[in-house]
Structure 1
Amino acid sequence: MAAGPRRRRWLLLGVLFALVMALLVSVLRAPSPEQPELVIDALPPIEWSSPPSKETIAPDQDLPRLAVGVYATNISNLDLLDDQFSIELLLWTLWEGEPSADPSGQLRLINGIYDGDIQRFQPVRQEQRPGGVWTLYRIRSAVVKRWQLSRYPFDDQILQLQFGLDDPLQPVRLDVEEDHPFVISPGLLLPGWRLKEPSAYASSLSLMSDLGIPPAAEKAVRRQPTVSFDLPIQRRSLLYVAPDFLGYMLAVGLCCMSLMITRSRDDLILAAVVSAGGNYVFIAGNLPVTAMTGFIGNLQLIVFLGILYVVAADEIIDHHLSSYTPRVSNLLRVILLPSYIAITVLGIVWIIP
């Protein structure tokens, strides 16, 4: 009888408490009368400086145009450890200004590697054409390339060439040729890679330093005019599966054999551990450390977890459950091999990028 009034009393107290809290929250959120808007109006107005416009940063459009185009003849030495590759190409320029002021002889490959005679700009020929001074160069150079290998061997890369003048402060209007500025030789093949459609565009390189010269009032950042040529390439991933991951395949096979053979299981499991560890050491010797943080590192983890699963399940089933529940032990022994294969395959499919 007393439960009904007591419940209603607690309900009224709860509603009253909720109303008090709502009132308190509304009072705290209300604007304070001690802070009128007159205080803000009394402050002096702030003069915000407008950001530099594109006209300020972009090169002067009144300058004569230097158009650049390239014809790649050979790409080799894709070195993943040293972050570089080598390229041979023909580069042509078309200068629309005075022939005496032609700056094409000052062009250089900005992301190239200068080491002795590795990078060479060899003039081939020069002609005066109706559009301007046309010059042809033959170039051989090693190029810096920061490889992104977290998805190896399912990775795509972009081979970029960036050309600019020796003098980063020289005003020039660099641009790419309008008709087919980047052409790849039909005979150019990269073993293990697919070549995709190249692209070319005018760009700039920001100089985050005044180089000892006080910056002009209208320029926030100094920019060096450049032209960029990009060649996307895609790795043929299936070509790298067998030679690079044979040790992992052997480790999985040894674990399957240890579950099918009742004797000499310890030797097979030890051989699986050595095979997986040796495969990881082999890949680490051929690839930079950044590649170990992606697909390869996850694959190594799956293989070793599978080995631990085989060892733990075999120990529990044969030495613990067999003496207490032989029927359950026999059933688990039958499904142990299929479960290991299914877990391993699903794990590998899940981490494939």
Structure 2
Amino acid sequence: MSSRPWRWRLVWVALTCALTLSIAQLGWGAKAAVDPRPSPIDWGTAPVEVIEPESPPLRIGAYITNISDIDLLDDQFSVEMLLWTTWTGEPQDDPSDQLMILNGIYDGDIQRFERVSHEQTAAGSWNLYRVRSAVVKRWRLQRYPFDDQMLHVQIGLADPLAAVNLDVDDPDPFAVSPGLVLPGWTLEQPGAYASSVSLMSELGRPLGDGEVIRRQPAVSLDVLIRRRSLLYVAPDFLGYMLAVGLCCMSLMITHSRDDLILASVVSAGGNFVYVAGKLPVTAMAGFIGHLQLIIFLGILYVVAADELIDSHLIVLNERVSQVLRVLLLPSYVGFTLLAIFLIIP
């Protein structure tokens, strides 16, 4: 028999095996492309984020018992008050003893904070302090004596980098003693609110992510006081009143006019020196400076008009001179009063 049929059988077996291996290889490649096996995770080295509990705020309340030593020249006043704090965190972390008046002046024997009472309740820690301090106040006296002033006390932690938030206590965080009387002033309703102090420096420590300006938490206490203006008119402006009166007398009499004019100049100048000695120089740019200018311009008006009428105009026309002489006094008084009325704030 011929060996050709066996050869064809061997060829068909070889082709069948090659075709089967090709199809299997294509199936495995498609499975690997569709459903890749993820790489193993090393659970022992994966970072775990730890969330720390947020620190509770330190709540502050105050009761002012006295305000004194209102010093306009040195830009300060003194305050005495009872200040309390409430802390709901761990007692050992209570930052109340680190409080201070941020805009205060500490010199001599002034006690910043003196703790007089402490209680530990179920809600947290409660502390009571007696505070006395001088406080910096930049007075705005351009409207003196028609000015209002805001007494501002800012309380914060001594460490500006402490990560403790400050807030006002509820429900009545701030009050002033009803028996407190400020001579020459009227007290308005006080207010308290959470604030912050912007520190335009890194203080040697880098800022946090997204932080542009370092801010120190604080609590602000504000008391508005209004000056009783009429109490200051007579003692502070008596020299100006006398100068106006002397000018009027110089226009009503015919003798000793030069002496009266000189006395009015001395009176107005002395009044200005007196006021400048009790107020800062910035106050002279407001009502007082304008009033001084009006008084001196009025004196110049009286001197110039009197000289023109009596020495020059009378030579040209005596009747016109007499009419102007009659109108000189009411015109001086009218112009002076109108100018003063226009500059009153």
TM-score range, shorter chain: 0.7 to 0.9
Q: 2:280 aligns with which of 267, 288, 309?
A: 288
How far, CA to CA, are the matches of 1:336 and 1:119 in structure 2? 63
How far, CA to CA, are the matches of 1:218 and 1:71 in structure 2? 38
Structure 2 residue 132 is matched with structure 1 residue 175 = no
Mind listing any 5+ residue stretches in structure 1 that lack a counterpart? Answer: 1-59
Q: Cα offset for 1:215?
A: 1.6
Q: Cα offset for 1:138?
A: 0.2
Q: Secondary structure at the match of 2:266?
A: helix
Mind listing any 5+ residue stretches in structure 2 that lack a counterpart? Answer: 1-51
Aligned to 1:73: 65
* Equivalent residues of 1:113, 1:119 under 8 A apart: no
Aligned to 1:116: 108
Structure 2 residue 143 is matched with structure 1 residue 151 = yes
Structure 2 residue 216 is matched with structure 1 residue 228 = no
Question: What aligned pairs does 1:275-314 form with structure 2 within 5 A after superposition?
Answer: 275-314=267-306
Q: Secondary structure at the match of 2:146?
A: coil
Q: 1:180 to 1:321 in 2, by over 3 A?
A: same
Deviation per CA, 1:180-207, whole angstroms, max 9, x where unpaired?
2111001001000000011100000011
Aligned to 2:133: 141
Report how many residues are paired: 294
Aligned to 2:48: none
Q: Cα offset for 1:63?
A: 1.9
Q: 2:88 aligns with which of 89, 96, 105?
A: 96
Q: Secondary structure at the match of 1:135?
A: strand
Q: Secondary structure at the match of 1:189?
A: coil
Structure 2 residue 118 is matched with structure 1 residue 126 = yes
How far, CA to CA, are the matches of 1:328 and 1:119 in structure 2? 75
Q: Secondary structure at the match of 1:178?
A: coil
* Equivalent residues of 1:112, 1:119 under 8 A apart: no
- Give the letter aligned to residue 182 of structure 2: L
Deviation per CA, 1:99-146, whole angstroms, max 9, x where unpaired?
110000000000000113224311110011233211000011000000
How far, CA to CA, are the matches of 1:274 and 1:119 in structure 2? 47
Identity %: 68
Cα RMSD over matched residues? Answer: 1.1
Q: 1:265 aligns with which of 257, 265, 269?
A: 257
Aligned to 1:35: none
Question: What aligned pairs does 1:223-262 form with structure 2 within 5 A after superposition?
Answer: 223-262=215-254
Deviation per CA, 1:64-83, whole angstroms, max 9, x where unpaired?
12110000000000000000
- Give the letter aligned to residue 107 of structure 1: L
* Equivalent residues of 2:98, 2:157 under 8 A apart: yes
* Equivalent residues of 1:119, 1:140 under 8 A apart: yes
Q: Cα offset for 1:62?
A: 2.8
Q: 1:347 aligns with which of 332, 339, 345?
A: 339
Structure 2 residue 320 is matched with structure 1 residue 328 = yes
- Give the letter aligned to residue 141 of structure 1: S
- Give the letter aligned to residue 83 of structure 1: D
Normalising by structure 1, what TM-score?
0.82
* Equivalent residues of 2:167, 2:193 under 8 A apart: yes
How far, CA to CA, are the matches of 2:310 and 2:53 in structure 1? 82
- Give the letter aligned to residue 201 of structure 1: Y
Q: Cα offset for 1:179?
A: 1.4
- Give the letter aligned to residue 249 of structure 1: M
Deviation per CA, 1:243-284, whole angstroms, max 9, x where unpaired?
000000000000000000110000000000000000000011
Q: Cα offset for 1:61?
A: 9.8
Deviation per CA, 1:270-311, whole angstroms, max 9, x where unpaired?
000000000000011110000011000000000000000000
Q: Secondary structure at the match of 1:248?
A: helix
Normalising by structure 2, what TM-score?
0.84
How far, CA to CA, are the matches of 2:254 and 2:298 in structure 1? 18
Q: Secondary structure at the match of 2:127?
A: strand
* Equivalent residues of 1:251, 1:303 under 8 A apart: yes
- Give the letter aligned to residue 315 of structure 2: S
Question: What aligned pairs does 1:178-193 form with structure 2 within 5 A after superposition?
Answer: 178-193=170-185
* Equivalent residues of 2:106, 2:112 under 8 A apart: no
* Equivalent residues of 2:154, 2:219 under 8 A apart: yes
Which segment drifts farther, 207-216 or 67-76?
A: 207-216
* Equivalent residues of 2:268, 2:296 under 8 A apart: yes
Q: Secondary structure at the match of 1:283?
A: helix
Aligned to 1:206: 198
Q: Rg larger in 1 or in 2?
A: 2
Q: Cα offset for 1:165?
A: 0.3
Aligned to 1:14: none
